[in-house]
Chains A and B, each alone.
Chain A
Amino acid sequence: MATEEMVTLDVREDLRNGREPLRRILAAVDALAPGQGLRLLTTFEPLPLYRLLGGRGLGHEARRLGVADWEVRFFPDAPAEATAPVAQGDPASGWPAPAMHLDNRGLEPPEPMMRILEALETLAPGEVLAAVNEREPVFLFPELAARGHAVTVERRDDGVHLTIRRGADPA
């Protein structure tokens, strides 16, 4: 997508000064012309926004620019992978369709593990997270078990696909 079709919003200054940027972000999304996307500059990866804007049909693509420097592009004509499918979920396991998708390929260990655990905390018990990793996150599994989350792993040509269902909140 060409940059002209992207509106840029930089909320890093707001975040550093402790100001809540959500209102500005939603206003920017509302003001998008049809076919236009939002390029958001922030100090951390805004995982909860993925769901919120995913609900409005926006896919996302995140890039880390520095230690506390992220560029996230939200775009309307999202590739299939970036939007939550409206499928029925997996009938075999009885799990619902994933509420969030993460592509962790191209991230150095242990970033994929951190990202998955952070994303799970934004889900409600019973909701499902789908993630694609470059390799099996071996240190993640005991942590998932300790937190009561269930996981299935499938190795495909394009990576290791993880489906994780958030368990009930531990005390």
Chain B
Amino acid sequence: MGVRVEPWALRYFGVAFASYLAALAAMAAGLTYPSAGLLAPTTLAAVHLVTVGWLTLLMLGALHQFVPVITGRRLASDRSPAATLLLVAGGLILMVAGFLALPGGPWPALPAGGELLLPLGGSAVVAGAAVALANLGRTLGRARPLSLPARYVASALGFLALTVLLGLTFALAMTWPGLLPAGMAGPLLGAGLPLHLLAGVGGWFTLTAMGVALKLLAMFTLAPEDRGKTGQGIWAVTAGGMALAWLAGLAGVFAPGSPAGVLARAGWGLTGTGVALYLVDIRRLFGQRRRRGLEVNARFGAWALGCLGLTLLACAWALLRGREPGSWALAVFLALFGWLSGLGLSQLYKIVPFLTWIERYGKRMGRERVPRVQDLVQERRARPWFQGYFGAVALAAAALAIPSPALFRAAAALMLLAAAGVGRELLASRRCPRASPGHGARDGPAGARDAVAGPRGS
């Protein structure tokens, strides 16, 4: 019984953060859309640094800690987190090199075998994801019936499998065009991309983030965690809608014009409705909280949730404008950088000090004076970085809507600066807190016994 601090979680966060900063630097340097094409090799490399390196590793790291917390059980395997991190991070490096070696990229003249980088890297990422799926899936499977956050996570893991498998299929089809039956590779590479995005950004990232946000915000603002039948219904509509949109979308790739199109639109509609209802329910949760003051994680978690609302509006706008890919760029950007990265940054600001604190003071608690978790952070110093980050995201979103490549690069540079600032605050929370006596440091009973003699007078 009970949960220990997962030592690999913080290593996942470290690799994820490095990958995130590298992607932001590439955006600031003008190597990505809108300075380069939407499917330019450099754009693809940066996108996967964000999605595989930053968000996937961030979420997998968090889930290796979070799944035991929501199920009250230890992970099925203690060794698999290390294997997953090595496979996904190693695979990502090969993938990024593979994208840069694509025709039109900066490394077209890579020595023989360069074309193998993408399928090799993709295979390693798939293998890493499979190891994580087996471990987290088994842990969840033992904890049935699943709580609401656990349902979000379980459905998200299903979409993780779809995302990486479809991604690997792309890599194989691009490397060996004859591999897939004639007439299949073309449509899949063309119309299959939205499915890869929907499964990854919508299914894997967004469902995970929705479940984790629900649990963490309820826990740290002292709001009721049980969202009742309404909460279960919202999950079912959102996850079910995504599944319908995905399956119908896949059918539509091979049989365009069939009823699949109608079903896919229905799926999108359900997903949008579910997400909107989720936001209403989270708003209610904030209203129900018993802790009035909001700490950094909850305040900026709310800003990230606001970006999820803006993402919905951007999706609606893109649907109205039709199939023009550029209009989807804004929705995907808001989802990746406002909603998911914003939530990630704000929750890391709670998770990292919390785990550091348990790891460092768990053994000493009750036996000597230990600081509080909040003594490990300096919220006043961290707040401007978060405000700056979200401000820069808004600026970058405006630059995409115009579109203005120069403005986007400037905004990306600001995002990089702000994210680095948050990263510095996270590192600071890992170092020893300022233990100024009487200020923050809390008297344990040892101190208490000295001051107010206990019954045993020891």
The total of chain A residues at the interface (CB under 8 A) is: 44
Find A48's partner among B4, B69, B445 (CB 8 Å cutoff). Answer: B445
Within 8 A of A (CB), among B139-178: none
Q: Tell whether A142 pairs with B447 under 8 Å between CB atoms, given A67-B439, A117-B365.
A: no
| Shortest Cβ distance from B444 into A: residue | A118
In the complex, what residues of B have CB within 8 A of residue A16's CB?
438
A20-B453, A109-B220 known; 12 new pairs, CB 8 Å cut-off, are A43-B443, A52-B455, A68-B439, A68-B440, A108-B220, A108-B291, A110-B354, A114-B442, A121-B367, A121-B444, A138-B69, A138-B72
| Shortest Cβ distance from A67 into B: residue | B440
**Main SS at interface, chain B:** loop
Q: Are A51 and B442 within 8 A (Cβ)? A: no
Q: Are B362 and A139 within 8 A (Cβ)? A: yes
| Shortest Cβ distance from A54 into B: residue | B455
Residues of A within 8 A of B (CB): 15-16, 20-22, 25, 43-49, 51-52, 55, 67-68, 106, 108-110, 113-114, 117-122, 124, 134-136, 138-146, 153
Binary contact readout B356-387 vs A (1 if CB under 8 angstroms, 0 otherwise): 01100011011100101100000000000000
Q: Are B2 and A135 within 8 A (Cβ)? A: no
Q: Are A124 and B438 within 8 A (Cβ)? A: no
Q: Tell whether A118 pairs with B445 under 8 Å between CB atoms, given A135-B219, A141-B1, A142-B2.
A: yes
Roughly how many angstroms separate A67 CA and B366 CA in the complex, as a whole number? 17
Q: Are B451 and A15 within 8 A (Cβ)? A: yes
Within 8 A of A (CB), among B208-225: 219-220, 222, 225
In the complex, what residues of B have CB within 8 A of residue A47's CB?
445, 448
Q: Are B452 and A49 within 8 A (Cβ)? A: yes
Q: Are A143 and B72 within 8 A (Cβ)? A: no
Q: Are B454 and A122 within 8 A (Cβ)? A: yes
B456 sits at the interface (CB 8 A): yes
Q: Are A121 and B358 within 8 A (Cβ)? A: no
Roughly how many angstroms separate A89 CA and B219 CA in the complex, as a whole number? 32
10 contacting pairs across A/B (C-beta < 8 A): A43-B443, A44-B442, A44-B447, A48-B445, A106-B222, A121-B367, A121-B444, A124-B456, A143-B363, A145-B2
Q: Are A143 and B362 within 8 A (Cβ)? A: yes
Q: Are B455 and A139 within 8 A (Cβ)? A: no
B449 sits at the interface (CB 8 A): yes
Roughly how many angstroms separate A93 CA and B449 CA in the complex, as a whole number? 30
| Shortest Cβ distance from B364 into A: residue | A117
Inter-chain residue pair count (beta carbon < 8 A): 113
Q: Are A140 and B2 within 8 A (Cβ)? A: yes
The total of chain B residues at the interface (CB under 8 A) is: 43
Binary contact readout B62-90 vs A (1 if CB under 8 angstroms, 0 otherwise): 00000011001000000000000000000
Roughly how many angstroms separate A119 CA and B372 CA in the complex, as a whole number? 16
Binary contact readout B335-364 vs A (1 if CB under 8 angstroms, 0 otherwise): 000000000000000000010011000110
Q: Are B438 and A43 within 8 A (Cβ)? A: yes
| Shortest Cβ distance from A14 into B: residue | B451
B3 sits at the interface (CB 8 A): yes
Find A118's partner among B2, B366, B456 (CB 8 Å cutoff). Answer: B366
In the complex, what residues of A have CB within 8 A of residue B452's CB?
20-22, 25, 46, 48-49
| Shortest Cβ distance from A142 into B: residue | B2
Q: Tell whether A141 pairs with B448 under 8 Å between CB atoms, given A67-B439, A117-B366.
A: no
Q: Are B220 and A44 within 8 A (Cβ)? A: no
Roughly how many angstroms separate A13 CA and B5 CA in the complex, as a whole number? 39
Binary contact readout B93-115 vs A (1 if CB under 8 angstroms, 0 otherwise): 00000000000000000000000
In the complex, what residues of B have CB within 8 A of residue A49's CB?
452
Q: Output the least CB separation between A62 and chain B (Å).
A: 13
B316 sits at the interface (CB 8 A): no
Q: Output the least CB separation between B260 and chain A (Å).
A: 44
Within 8 A of A (CB), among B398-450: 438-440, 442-450
| Shortest Cβ distance from B369 into A: residue | A44
Find B358's partner among A20, A22, A67, A110 (CB 8 Å cutoff). Answer: A110
Roughly how many angstroms separate A51 CA and B454 CA in the complex, as a whole number? 8
Q: Are A20 and B451 within 8 A (Cβ)? A: yes
Roughly how many angstroms separate A122 CA and B450 CA in the complex, as a whole number? 12
Q: Output the least CB separation between B167 and chain A (Å).
A: 34
Q: Are B2 and A138 within 8 A (Cβ)? A: yes
Q: Are A108 and B363 within 8 A (Cβ)? A: no
| Shortest Cβ distance from B358 into A: residue | A139
Q: Output the least CB separation between A149 and chain B (Å).
A: 11
Roughly how many angstroms separate A120 CA and B225 CA in the complex, as a whole number? 28
In the complex, what residues of B have CB within 8 A of residue A108's CB?
219-220, 222, 291
Among A117, A124, A135, A143, max chain B CB count under 10 A is at A117
In the complex, what residues of A have CB within 8 A of residue B138's CB?
none
Roughly how many angstroms separate A146 CA and B358 CA in the complex, as a whole number? 14
